[in-house]
């Protein structure tokens, strides 16, 4: 399928979604969000795609926030609907039962920062910059930024970043726990793809369970989270991937995972 605002390519078992509005610094319009939702849905239904990378076209921006020209036309109702659309896309990224890596190659501002935070982890260029600057427009983050940022960097720091609109660089983001790794700009995509291909070779069922248990357990008390973990562990023990992984270990060879179907 052809898109106007994003590109979608498949490299072996890795899908790459590229925000493709470089003249607008890949700003998010309603049409862009709808296209992203469409891609996420297609990835969810395609078992041959094991991992998804999100990145931005050009060398300046991952996503430089929402499209301000479009925002300027909103009334309170349309603004709420736009916020709900953006939140919906972020939830779809989180719910995707496959690893999603944000490959942040430049500015991740406003909605761009929020989309990056919805991914499983962030790899950033040393030129990347992160910000929730909505306060400077008399607004607040609306795609889940106040909620995900506080879970990643703590309540006090999240309030400071949202209240001041301060922009931080990739290294600061790493120190705060927002960014997983920082790479030189010219190495970022290759290093991200290297990790994506490595993940694609692992058990899809185990990766899906890890994502579900970590995300589901974070808002539970410890005992409930551990119960969720134990249940998921038991399910993994009934999979073909588990049998292949154990056999490969005992036979001192590399495992060849094909799926996660349960023993019959």
Report pLDDT for 263. 41
- Residue 2 pLDDT level (bands cut at 50, 70, 90): confident
Question: What letter would DSSP give residue 251?
Answer: T
Q: Which residues of 159-185 are buried (b: 16+ CB within 10 A; e: fewer)?
A: eebbeeeebbbbeebbebebbbebbee
- Tens digit of each residue's pLDDT (9 = 90 or more) over 37-75: 999 999 999 999 999 999 999 999 999 998 888 989 999
- Tens digit of each residue's pLDDT (9 = 90 or more) over 140-166: 999 999 999 999 999 999 999 999 999
- For residues 10 and 37, state if they share a domain: yes
Strands (E), the chain: 6-11, 14-19, 51-56, 61-64, 100-104, 107-109, 121-125, 129-131, 168-169, 181-183
Report pLDDT for 167. 98
Report pLDDT for 262. 42
Report pLDDT for 260. 53
Residues facing residue 104 across a β-bridge: 124
- Residue 258 pLDDT level (bands cut at 50, 70, 90): confident
Q: What is the mean pLDDT of the chain?
A: 95
Task: Tell me the mean pLDDT in the region 204-209.
Answer: 95
Residue 191 has pLDDT above 90, yes or no: yes
Cβ atoms of 191 and 197 closer than 8 Å: no
Residue among 159, 172, 52 at smallest CA distance from 108: 172
- For residues 108 and 220, state if they share a domain: no
Residue 94 has pLDDT above 70, yes or no: yes
- Tokens describing residue 19: 């925000």
- Tens digit of each residue's pLDDT (9 = 90 or more) over 135-146: 999 999 999 999
**Number of folded domains that form the chain:** 2
- CATH number (domain holding residue 228): 1.10.12
- Tokens describing residue 32: 């862009």
- For residues 89 and 190, state if they share a domain: yes
Higher confidence at residue 74 or residue 260?
Answer: 74
- For residues 125 and 194, state if they share a domain: yes
Task: Tell me the mean pLDDT in the region 258-262.
Answer: 58
- For residues 35 and 153, state if they share a domain: yes
- CATH number (domain holding residue 70): 3.90.226.10
Task: Tell me the mean pLDDT in the region 180-198.
Answer: 98
From 4, 92, 94, 134, active-site residue: 134
Domain that residue 219 falls in:
204-250
**Would 88 be classed as within a structural domain?**
yes
- Tens digit of each residue's pLDDT (9 = 90 or more) over 111-134: 999 999 999 999 999 999 999 999
- For residues 196 and 209, state if they share a domain: no
**Would 80 be classed as within a structural domain?**
yes
First to last CA, the chain: 37
Report pLDDT for 261. 42
Task: Tell me the mean pLDDT in the region 249-257.
Answer: 94
Does residue 114 carry a catalytic annotation?
yes
Report pLDDT for 121. 98
What does the alpha-carbon distance between residue 100 and residue 36 come to, in Å, rounded to a whole number? 13
Report pLDDT for 264. 35
**What's the predicted TM-score (pTM) here?**
0.94
**Would 256 be classed as within a structural domain?**
no
- For residues 221 and 150, state if they share a domain: no
With a CB cutoff of 8 Å and minimum separation 6, the contacts of 78 are none
Q: Which helix (H) or strand (E) holds 217?
A: helix 204-217
High-pLDDT (> 70) share of the chain, %: 98
Cβ atoms of 145 and 112 closer than 8 Å: no
- For residues 220 and 162, state if they share a domain: no
**Would 255 be classed as within a structural domain?**
no
* Domain closes at, from 200, 225, 242: 200
Report pLDDT for 1. 74
From 4, 84, 94, 114, active-site residue: 114
Cβ atoms of 145 and 108 closer than 8 Å: no
């Amino acid at each position: 399928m052809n898109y106007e605002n994003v590109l979608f390519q498949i490299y072996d078992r890795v899908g790459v979604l590229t925000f493709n509005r470089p003249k607008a610094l890949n700003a998010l319009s309603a049409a862009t969000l709808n296209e992203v939702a469409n891609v996420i849905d297609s990835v969810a239904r395609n078992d041959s795609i094991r991992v998804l990378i999100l990145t931005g076209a050009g060398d300046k921006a991952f996503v430089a926030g929402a499209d301000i020209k479009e925002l300027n036309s909103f009334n309170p109702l349309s603004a709420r609907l736009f916020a709900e659309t953006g939140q919906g896309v972020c939830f779809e990224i989180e719910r995707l039962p496959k690893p999603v890596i944000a490959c942040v190659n430049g500015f991740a501002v406003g909605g761009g920062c929020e989309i990056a935070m919805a991914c499983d982890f962030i790899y950033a260029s040393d030129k990347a910059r992160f910000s929730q600057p909505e306060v400077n427009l008399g607004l607040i983050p609306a795609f889940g930024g106040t909620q995900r940022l506080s879970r990643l960097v703590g309540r006090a720091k999240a309030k400071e970043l949202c209240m001041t609109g301060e922009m931080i660089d990739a290294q600061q983001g790493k120190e705060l726990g927002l960014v997983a790794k920082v790479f030189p700009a010219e190495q970022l995509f290759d290093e991200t793809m290297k990790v994506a291909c490595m993940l694609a070779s692992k058990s899809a069922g185990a990766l899906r369970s890890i994502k579900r248990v970590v995300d589901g357990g974070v808002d539970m008390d410890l005992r409930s989270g551990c119960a969720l973990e134990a249940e998921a562990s038991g399910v993994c023990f009934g999979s073909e991937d588990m049998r292949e992984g154990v056999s490969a270990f005992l036979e001192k060879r590399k495992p060849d995972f094909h799926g996660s179907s349960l023993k019959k």
